[in-house]
Structure 1
Amino acid sequence: MTYSSSLRPLLAGLGLTLALGACQSNSNPETAATEVAVAPTAGAEVLTIGTWRGVLSAQGQQIPFLFDITQDGGKPTVTLRNGEERIKLDEITTAGDSTTIRLGVFDAALVVRADGTDKLKGTWVKYDGKEPYRVAFAATKGEEPLFPVMADRKILSFDGTWKVTFKGEDGETYPAVGVFKQNEQNITGTFLTSTGDYRYLAGQVDGNVLKLSTFDGSHGFLFSGKNPNETDTNATAISGDFYSGKKGHETWTAVKDPNAKLPDANTLTGMKPGQKKLDFKFPSIYEGGAISPSDPKYKGKVVVIQILGSWCPNCMDETNFLAPWYEKNKSRGVEVIGLGYERTPDQTLAAKKLLKMKERMNIGYDLAVAGIADKDAAAKSLPQLQSVLAFPTTIFLDKKGEVRKIHTGFSGPGTGTYYQEEIADFNQTIDMLLKE
């Protein structure tokens, strides 16, 4: 995962650098060039019912995650487990001895085969880019902890809120807030950054060592951290590593701080001087159509512009909120336009990816193909904006079509109270604009 150096001056003025944790893309998708051809058959006998512990092997590390296999109408279903999150995967096909498990809305899959009794071996594959992206995968049936722990070792408490600094291999840093909940050796939580969050993390504490991981189909994350003093009862400082999939690596440090906060997400970017309205016309995901905020459909209404990508888990978190919210509130005079920035320049293929997302997530609002998954390119496609710092970015238009707020990133349900605050702020903004 990379980000553009052209954004550093803007963020430096805010005392920030761009967080890698949110869904961001600057034309460097770690993805696979070709898709494995799999014929749809009723097989997949290798997927036996039970709980499995999967492991992704990358960068000399093991990124573990848990998943359940069940039967639904005689067909296998896989459910990924990340803390409280459950991701149901029901697009499963078999050809020969290989079984392909499509990873939800993402253009990715686990391609597996049996490896002895109650074991799987295969590859995590991403299909939506030019560069090959394959990560070795193995799994063993039988519920286990994500990380092995020593039962007789003293356990430090990492519970609480932390002020965090991440540092990339280029030396650049960015702030974050860590929020952890610990129950004996088990721990869950996440990291919030100025452009989004690292979603649902889960793991274990072994002595003075903390380990957390997640796998949502698009990202595989591993966080490890250590309190320097093993004799402490409560951890007060952490230093560790963050591994993201095939290539990403950062270090991080943290200090306990119940008042840790990030800059206001409503102030990170804005309109260029003298600009009040967005002027765009992008092709609809349906052939022959086009979408513009000046269309009669949106006249006199409050409009929410969602900058997103079907490859982006943070965008999916926001969409999981927005889709049902729109159905409940559209009668009030509110519309939503989703602007999709995909990891392909092929407009037809991009439309297919967004259409799949729309159908799987029951999205009732309009979606357009706006461009490629690159923050700089997104900003150029919306030249009235100062910048686009993250996917997602949410823009609020009043009844006159003027931009009234730009919100960078999205704090998803994995952030707990921060998610509730995010939703409350969203609703307050809509209520204010509707009353005008």
Structure 2
Amino acid sequence: MKLPVFNTPVKLFLFLALILTTMITACTSTTSNNQTITPGMWRVVLHTQGQEIPFLMEAAEKDGKSVLYLVNDKERILLDSIQPQGDSLKIGLHIFDADLIAKVEGGKMTGRFVKNDTQTPYSIPFTAEHGKNNRFAEAPAKATLNVDGKWQVVFTDAEGSSYDAVGVFSQNGNNVKGTFLTETGDYRYLDGQVEGDQLKLSTFDGNHAYLFTAKPATDSTLKGEFYSGMTGRESWTATRNENAKLADADSLTFLKPGYDALSFTFPNLEGEKVSLSDPKYKGKVVLVQLVGSWCPNCMDETMFLAPYYDQNKDRGLEIIGLGFERSPEFDKAAARLSKMKDRLNINYDLLVAGVSEKDAAAQALPALNKVMSFPTTIFIGRDGKVRKIHTGFSGPGTGKYYEDWVKEFNKTMDELLAEKA
């Protein structure tokens, strides 16, 4: 190969600059796999069960790198793991063992929502379009149905099993926001619209994809369908009732007769055995949190508990998160909990307690009558005795219910922390 001859330093400099630019461009193309996600809002639609479950995702830049945000009402969930995979991009979905595999072509995306932590991993196809910020119809027909307010709700599955819920909705013209509360947690931030007499609400938090539809059955009742993920489907009915309520969350899980305390020993994320009877916890107020990295309600509770612990540990507080994970293998379970710990800035102890089944959790803590929900939070006084057990969690998507929970939590903790050992 014959090299060019440069008769001035300037020409040599320009030649070297051209070579360097070419090398950087080549590296960038390889890293991004020629896939560029245009900044701005994207309307994404999951295609499942003959339905469309829409959600919004915003592309932006953070700390010099491209990131995405899942947008549900006021919530923005950061997705900052975007890697090339074949001719597509693999977008890690926050703390969850799930990904979006997306092929980007200009202002369009096609791909799959992949769930890795189910017994049989599955994927749901999706499409996306840039520059759209309408979750449902872009120009909906005028709303003739008003769902604003509180509703007593019953969900029923295909086998006829049912459970109670409370629907709380806020409507402004066509736009509707709200959620459903159940005895085991809430359905987080729901966003949607009423078009004519049809209600549609959806959410996608990186692990759960939900679609709720309904029409009026009478002047004061609704009848609808609830679609979840690849196969989940339930019917639901709702009756307008401003006094709608659920059973007391502090009464559902309790100690069996003859017990006034808990006893357990599980490995931490490094494999070292940790017991509730260890000196570290003696004479302190201890919260025991039944948690899972796969659980969005647990994520919500943890985002409250993690900073609360940092601000109050010097008052004599310890928190122990008992992780019940999808995998029975310690290394895999510990890896999932470690990711949750890093992403949510958890500085309290996390232990690997078992698999994510309510019966397994009940067997791991035989003093409890049952475990109904993840999360379940157990309040232990400085004397080592259980003072209260709270089933489920009403997260920030529930508005006033969350605010009431925070007030009650702070009241209980202040009383326990004020006690002498």
Displacement of 1:205 in angstroms is: 0.5
Amino acid in structure 1 at the alignment position of 2:167: G
CA deviations over 1:9-42 (Å, ceiling 9, x no partner): xxxxxxxxxxxxxxxxxxxxxxxxxxxxxxx934
Indicate whether 1:277 and 2:250 are aligned.
no
- SS in structure 2 at match of 1:190: strand
2:241 corresponds to which of 224, 245, 257? 257
Indicate whether 1:59 and 2:49 are aligned.
yes
1:416 aligns with 399
Amino acid in structure 2 at the alignment position of 1:409: G
1:79 aligns with 69
1:102 corresponds to which of 89, 92, 95? 92
Displacement of 1:154 in angstroms is: 4.3
Mapping of residues 164-179 of structure 1, within 5 Å: 164-179=153-168
Amino acid in structure 1 at the alignment position of 2:145: L
- SS in structure 2 at match of 1:326: helix
Indicate whether 1:190 and 2:173 are aligned.
no
1:50 aligns with 40
1:222 aligns with 211
Amino acid in structure 1 at the alignment position of 2:256: K
- SS in structure 2 at match of 1:400: coil
CA deviations over 1:277-301 (Å, ceiling 9, x no partner): 11110000123x2221111010001
- Give distance in 1, aligned partners of 2:240 and 2:353: 42
Query: Comparing both structures, which one devotes a greater share of its residues to helix?
Result: 2
Mapping of residues 286-305 of structure 1, within 5 Å: 286-287=270-271, 289-305=272-288
Amino acid in structure 2 at the alignment position of 1:297: K
Contact 1:411 1:418 in 2 (8 A): yes
Mapping of residues 346-357 of structure 1, within 5 Å: 346-357=329-340
Contact 2:167 2:179 in 1 (8 A): yes
2:349 aligns with 366
Unaligned 5+ segments in structure 1 are 1-39, 230-234
- SS in structure 2 at match of 1:79: strand
Contact 1:46 1:113 in 2 (8 A): no
- Where relative contact order (Cα < 8 A, 6+ residues apart) is larger, the structure is 1
- Give distance in 2, aligned partners of 1:150 and 1:356: 41
Contact 1:279 1:292 in 2 (8 A): yes
1:30 aligns with none
Displacement of 1:45 in angstroms is: 2.8
Q: Which moved more, 1:145-154 or 1:219-228?
A: 145-154
- Give distance in 1, aligned partners of 2:51 and 2:336: 31
Change (3 A) 1:200 1:237: same
Displacement of 1:210 in angstroms is: 0.6
- SS in structure 2 at match of 1:314: helix
Contact 1:150 1:206 in 2 (8 A): no
Mapping of residues 333-412 of structure 1, within 5 Å: 333-412=316-395
Amino acid in structure 2 at the alignment position of 1:99: L
- SS in structure 2 at match of 1:378: helix
CA deviations over 1:135-185 (Å, ceiling 9, x no partner): 111111122421116555343221111111111111011110000011111
Contact 2:38 2:106 in 1 (8 A): no
Contact 1:155 1:184 in 2 (8 A): no
Change (3 A) 1:404 1:73: closer
Mapping of residues 24-173 of structure 1, within 5 Å: 41-43=31-33, 45-114=35-104, 116-148=105-137, 151-173=140-162
- SS in structure 2 at match of 1:357: helix
- Give distance in 2, aligned partners of 1:400 and 1:72: 47
Displacement of 1:433 in angstroms is: 1.6
Contact 1:57 1:137 in 2 (8 A): yes
Contact 1:149 1:206 in 2 (8 A): no
Amino acid in structure 2 at the alignment position of 1:221: Y
- Give distance in 1, aligned partners of 2:212 and 2:321: 32
Displacement of 1:247 in angstroms is: 1.1
Displacement of 1:72 in angstroms is: 3.1
- Give distance in 2, aligned partners of 1:153 and 1:284: 56
Amino acid in structure 2 at the alignment position of 1:250: E
Contact 2:150 2:166 in 1 (8 A): yes
Amino acid in structure 2 at the alignment position of 1:92: I
Displacement of 1:193 in angstroms is: 0.2
Displacement of 1:228 in angstroms is: 3.2
CA deviations over 1:380-428 (Å, ceiling 9, x no partner): 0111111110000000111111111111000000000000111111111
Contact 1:41 1:95 in 2 (8 A): no
1:314 corresponds to which of 287, 294, 297? 297
TM-score by length of 1: 0.87
- SS in structure 1 at match of 2:31: coil
Contact 1:168 1:251 in 2 (8 A): yes
Equivalences, count? 390
Unaligned 5+ segments in structure 2 are 1-29
Contact 1:107 1:126 in 2 (8 A): yes
Contact 1:265 1:408 in 2 (8 A): yes
- Give distance in 2, aligned partners of 1:195 and 1:417: 17
Change (3 A) 1:130 1:257: closer
- Give distance in 2, aligned partners of 1:286 and 1:259: 48
2:306 aligns with 323
1:24 aligns with none
Amino acid in structure 2 at the alignment position of 1:388: V
Contact 2:297 2:375 in 1 (8 A): yes
TM-score by length of 2: 0.90
- Give distance in 2, aligned partners of 1:52 and 1:149: 13
